[in-house]
Structure 1
Amino acid sequence: MRLFIICALLSLANAANRLCNGDVMTLHPTGKASGGVAASHAEVQHDVTALEKHRHCYQASADNNCIQASVIAAVASRESRGGTLLVATHGYGDLGHAWGIMQCDTRYSGLPCTSVPWDSCEHIEMMVHRMLVPNVHSLHTKHPAWPMSHCLQGAVAGYNCGLSRVTSFETADTHTTGHDYSNDVIARAQWLHQHGWN
């Protein structure tokens, strides 16, 4: 019983340590443009098996960068269905212009995308540490009145369309793929959070 209590307390501590870049559960996403939140939940539920294969990577990057693992995994779900879309292309997506589970843009990101294996913890860490979390911090600096959770969702939109195109929280998805990227990713993240991903 004592061991269970200690494990539960450690789990709560880890969850709390991942909130300095916003709490996905305070947001109210609309989900996919076609099908809404239910469609987002169905898609991420379909991807869980693939996401579980790299769960240790998502968890480690969450701890390293103080961001929820559910958000990281939700990005991977939207970008590559957790990697399942990339097996046949050996890691490439977007007509050969993006690399890895988190789809590092080989043309415009400025990152050494192909310097790490496409399905590695190093790839996930690079995209979180050098793209997603810096996006959160940039939006917080640019919009200090925004709650951190709004900065988080805006950062997710910027991950897809470029941060300069995110000018307000309400219009964050205007320039994203399908005009629903951040709302879809956040809805997926909430489903993951409710199913044990913190």
Structure 2
Amino acid sequence: MSCQYGDLRRVDTTGASFETARADGKQAGGVAASHSMAADDLNAMNRYKSLIISVGQAKGVDPAVIAGIISRESRAGKGLDSNGWGDHGNAFGLMQIDKRWHTPQGGPFSETHISQATQILVDIINFEVKKKFSSWTKEEQLKAGLAGYNMGLSRVHSYERVDESTTGKDYSNDVIARAQ
């Protein structure tokens, strides 16, 4: 689906790193591993489908990208504690909003939460990525925005090494592959 931030089908990706895939019990990394992890999360993800679609339409973000983030960040909620926290109590909700940088809004599984987190991604793309990488395609800017969502855009220096500082050194590539 083409959206305001590019066509997900046109974003190149290497998928999950071996380390990310291995942590989930997969035997190899790559796009197939990302697809497999997304498939593992599908039943849990379906609980949030209408919320994801609603937020995606409101924010101009492909709902599959939102679902890809949710799969990577919280395994569609399966990786959170009973109060919706992960990352040693530093990140909240399905999309793991970091309390050190943002004040989480809504419940951990709510449309308010998904909307806030998606707006964080949109703001990174609109106010940081488009300025820093103005010559990049929308698809390249989306990938940089995802890397920035994970670890801040200041650590993205080139498209070829977009994930060099992200969690697992594969964050944007894995999210894109899960979304595809």
TM-score (norm 1): 0.82
Q: CA deviation at 1:27?
A: 1.1
| Residue segments in structure 2 that go unaligned for 5+ positions in a row | 19-28
Query: Alignment partner for residue 78 of structure 1, among 66, 72, 78?
Result: 72
Residues in 2 aligned to 1:142 and 1:162: alpha-carbon distance in whole angstroms: 13
**Map of 1:102-141 to 2, 5 A cutoff?**
102-107=95-100, 109=101, 111-113=102-104, 115-129=105-119, 131-137=120-126, 138-141=128-131
Structure-1 separation of matches of 2:55 and 2:158: 27
Shift of 1:89: 3.4
**1:133 maps to amino acid:** V
The structure 1 segments of at least 4 consecutive aligned residues displaced by more than 6 Å after TM superposition are none
Counterpart-to-counterpart distance in 1, 2:36 and 2:139? 23
| Structure 1 residues 8-38: Cα deviation after superposition (integer angstroms, max 9, x where no partner) | xxxxxxx55xx11111110110001111001
- Matching residue of 1:93: 86
Query: Match for 2:173 among 183, 186, 191?
Result: 183
Distance 1:105 1:77 in 2: 16
What residue number does 1:3 align with? Answer: none
Q: How many pairs align? A: 169
Query: Alpha-carbon deviations, 1:97-119, whole Å to 9, x = none?
Result: 00000000011x2x221x31011
Aligned partner of residue 117 in structure 1, secondary structure: coil
Which whole-Å CA distance do the structure 2 matches of 1:160 and 1:144 have between them?
A: 20
Larger radius of gyration: 1
Query: Of 155, 168, 172, which residue of structure 1 is paired with 2:162?
Result: 172
- The match for 1:46 among 36, 40, 44 is 40
Structure 1 Cα separation of the partners of residues 153 and 67 of structure 2: 20
The residue identity in structure 2 corresponding to 1:38 is A
**Deviations, residues 18-59 of structure 1 (Å, cap 9, x unaligned):** x11111110110001111001000000000111110111110
C-alpha separation between the residues in 1 aligned to 2:78 and 2:116? 20
Residue of structure 2 in register with 1:147 after alignment: 137
Please report the RMSD computed on the Cα atoms of aligned residues, expressed in angstroms: 1.1
Task: Output the CA distance in 2 between the equivalents of 1:112 and 1:125.
Answer: 13
The 3-state SS of whatever aligns with 2:94 is coil
- Identity over the aligned pairs, expressed in percent? 40
Alpha-carbon offset, residue 72 of structure 1: 0.4
CA distance in 1, matches of 2:48, 2:84: 15
TM-score computed with the length of structure 2 as normaliser: 0.90
Which residue is equivalent to 1:58?
52
Q: Secondary structure at the match of 1:83?
A: coil
Judging by fraction of residues, say which structure has more helix.
Answer: 1
